[in-house]
Amino acid sequence: MLQHGHASDLVPERVVVIGAEGFVGAALVAQLAAAKISHLGLGRHEIDLLTTGAAELLAAQLRPGDVVVAAAARAPCRTMAMFIENMIIVKAIIDALVRVPVSHVINVSSDAVYGDEPAPLTEHAPTAPESLHGAMHLAREIAFRSEIPAPLAIVRPTLIYGASDPHNGYGPNRFRRQAARGEEIPLFGEGEERRDHVLVDDVAALILRIALRRSTGTLNIATGETYSFRAIAEMVVAAARKPLAIKGSPRHGPMPHNGYRPFDPAASHAAFPNFRYVSLPAGIQRVQTEMEAARG
């Protein structure tokens, strides 16, 4: 749950986004620019956090009083080598934050820190990751809580989609690219698993609100609505306006998360009563429009 440090929005002197070239970081930088909030985006081209001396270079870019968003990670984390790289990255960030008295830190984590529960997940659900990706994010969370002196907020988004997604994960991101190429959309099984998906713009918008209120604590970022992957594929085909086939396939192994992973969004509604998530049908249409505009 979040606790607000400010009763109303207060624009910080500067927001520093570490991982500004990534999916979430780039969306946040765009919203900061649109809001005319002073910010500094740091990506791999500015500082490679895996290199020797990265902490010193990062500390030199920070100012006392900065709000820092930690969005840099090797993700999704699939191997022990990637896990170790992520620990090197978070150590560099923490070493820099210890050197400079920033005012607020926001760590971008993941809903993968949770295990599966029979009821919709809340911020009070036990952290019990079942993957290296979830274990990596939980280790980052523990490191930030243990090591940095600044007020800390942790956000845990569920599956994120958007036009600039770099991972091409199964779901809206992969399906829209297949549709753009005029390909049929293959499903795992019959696509019956139901998951919550959140638009990257909503993730960035909530991070920005947390920065403006100097909030601390933990917040899940999830709409509270679940759709089957077949329903998602049908939405993508409808948005693409192409007569594309959606085809099931034999399933090998059990469905991830037992086929259903819902969330209770009550905490985000309580923290930001005026915020409304973009629904998945509307978000898929928005992403399609953005893709068509980019193609000219």
Residue-wise pLDDT tens digits, 35-91: 999 999 999 999 999 999 999 999 999 999 999 999 999 999 999 999 999 999 999
What number of CA atoms fall less than 13 Å from residue 281's CA on the CB side? 4
Strand, coil or helix: 165: coil
- Return the pLDDT at 277: 98
- Helix, strand, coil tally for the chain in percent (to 5): 40, 20, 40
Smallest CA-to-CA distance from 111 within 257, 285, 270, 232 is with: 257
Q: Parse the chain into domains and list their residue ranges.
A: 2-163+199-225+261-278
**Collapsed DSSP state (helix, strand, coil) of residue 96:** helix
2-163+199-225+261-278 has which fold? Rossmann fold (3.40.50)
Q: Which of 167, 272, 262 is nearest to 222 (CA)?
A: 262
User: What pLDDT was estimated at residue 217?
Assistant: 98
**Confidence tier at 264 by pLDDT (50, 70, 90):** very high
**Predicted pLDDT at 135:** 98
Buried b (16+ CB within 10 A) or exposed e, 208-231: bbbbbbbbbbbbbbbbbbbbbbbe
> Containing H/E element for 206?
helix 200-213
Band (pLDDT 50/70/90 cuts) for residue 257 is: confident
pLDDT at residue 296 above 70? no
Question: What pLDDT sits at residue 252?
Answer: 84
- Section 120-132 average pLDDT: 95
Residue recorded with tokens 């500067």: 14
How would residue 256 be classed by pLDDT, with cut points 50, 70 and 90?
confident
